[in-house]
Amino acid sequence: MRELLIATRNERKKKELKTLLDGIDVRILTLRNFPGLPKIVEDGRNFKENAIKKATTAAKLTGRLTIADDSGLEVDVLGNKPGVYSSRFAGKGATDRKNNLKLLRLLKDTPFKNRTARFVCHIAISDKSGLIGTTKGVCSGVIGFKIQGTYGFGYDPLFVIPKYGKTFAELGARIKNKMSHRYKALKKAKKLILGYFRKNS
């Protein structure tokens, strides 16, 4: 069976990406399947650079077709922070809760209308020979005033979708997976993956 490596050790991200990749007849692997691999340092200036580095590095080290994403939250009033530091916004080893609480503290005096934000996702696809392509997805919303909901991870409990008046964490997988930044980027990436498999079958 054809194999596709998702360049992550995050099981929650694997689960979400695997759901979004439904329909592709492929065995999904993650970096956990290659315990001897060195950690890939995400030192890019933006999401795209990090995604490309992860995908091309993992593909060369494993010889597998690899998909990697880098995504995060950009808050307008904070000058697009936390950005590439989304997962470590509250410091090295930060938990989702600590990151969320720091964001709430920084926005404590900011009115709702000025709490606009977006989730951004860049996806890169590579094989051992090099980069095949990249895609991008964006989902706009507003940062709420308190943590709400239990689904998902990261900033999902704070990210309010105005159309529903609820956070991603309250809306759950069925709705989130049809409108998220990762869904939009992966929808385009699926075409690249299928094209690659057709070309190399």
109 given a catalytic annotation = no
End-to-end CA distance of the chain: 11
State phi, psi for 132 to the nearest 5 degrees.
-100, -40
Contact indicator for 84, 46 with CB cutoff of 8 Å: yes
Total number of residues shown for the chain: 201
3-state secondary structure string, 151-184?
CCCCCCCCEEECCCCEEHHHHCHHHHCCCCHHHH
CA of 126: how far to CAs of 6, 11, 68, 104, 132, in Å?
11, 21, 9, 37, 5
Residues 70, 96, 127, 156: which is the catalytic one?
A: 70
Q: How many CB atoms lie within 10 A of CB 11?
A: 11
d(CA 193, CA 186): 10
The letter for the amino acid at 191 is: K
Which residues, including other chains, have CB under 8 Å from residue 53's CB and lie 6 or more apart?
A: 40, 42, 43, 44
Residues known to be catalytic: 70
